[in-house]
Amino acid sequence: NAGVTQTPKFQVLKTGQSMTLQCAQDMNHNSMYWYRQDPGMGLRLIYYSASEGTTDKGEVPNGYNVSRLNKREFSLRLESAAPSQTSVYFCASGEGVYEKLFFGSGTQLSVL
């Protein structure tokens, strides 16, 4: 059972470069999420998708775009990376009326 799979595990970008973080889940969950984790700030929600074909902004959406490609896949794109986007990014999927989230192992991104 893979659960939630994120790629890549590590990435270094230069300011202004673009990249897409990939996420896939094999638990048939309707909802998927992208969080960023910074020291002392906990987990902050960037974007989420309640179901295939829908996406909504979370707490910190600026500088990011997302695509819910199908029920399994939810990607996060940085169009023009900035040093402030250096962080650890987690994808998650959720089940239940009161969502229990299942997280991937994260992508550590550094923007120089």
Partner 1 sequence: GQQLNQSPQSMFIQEGEDVSMNCTSSSIFNTWLWYKQDPGEGPVLLIALYKAGELTSNGRLTAQFGITRKDSFLNISASIPSDVGIYFCAGHSSGGSYIPTFGRGTSLIVHP
Give me the residues that bind partner 1 (CB under 8 A), please.
Answer: 4, 31, 33, 40-43, 45, 48, 59, 90, 92, 94, 97-106
Q: Please identify, using beta-carbon distances, which residue of 17 and 30 lies nearer to partner 1.
A: 30
- How far is 21 from 2, CA to CA, in rounded Å? 17
Q: Between vectors from CA 103 to CA 22 and to CA 63, what angle results, nearest 5°?
A: 50
- State the minimum distance, in angstroms, from the CB of residue 103 to partner 1: 3
Residue whose tokens read 């595990």: 9
Q: Please identify, using beta-carbon distances, which residue of 42 and 53 lies nearer to partner 1.
A: 42
Q: Please identify, using beta-carbon distances, which residue of 90 and 111 lies nearer to partner 1.
A: 90
- Per-residue tokens: 77: 């794109």
Q: Please identify, using beta-carbon distances, which residue of 40 and 53 lies nearer to partner 1.
A: 40
- State the minimum distance, in angstroms, from the CB of residue 76 to partner 1: 15
- Per-residue tokens: 31: 């909802």
- State the minimum distance, in angstroms, from the CB of residue 28 to partner 1: 17
- State the minimum distance, in angstroms, from the CB of residue 15 to partner 1: 26
- Per-residue tokens: 37: 């984790």
- How far is 9 from 16, CA to CA, in rounded Å? 20
- How far is 4 from 27, CA to CA, in rounded Å? 8
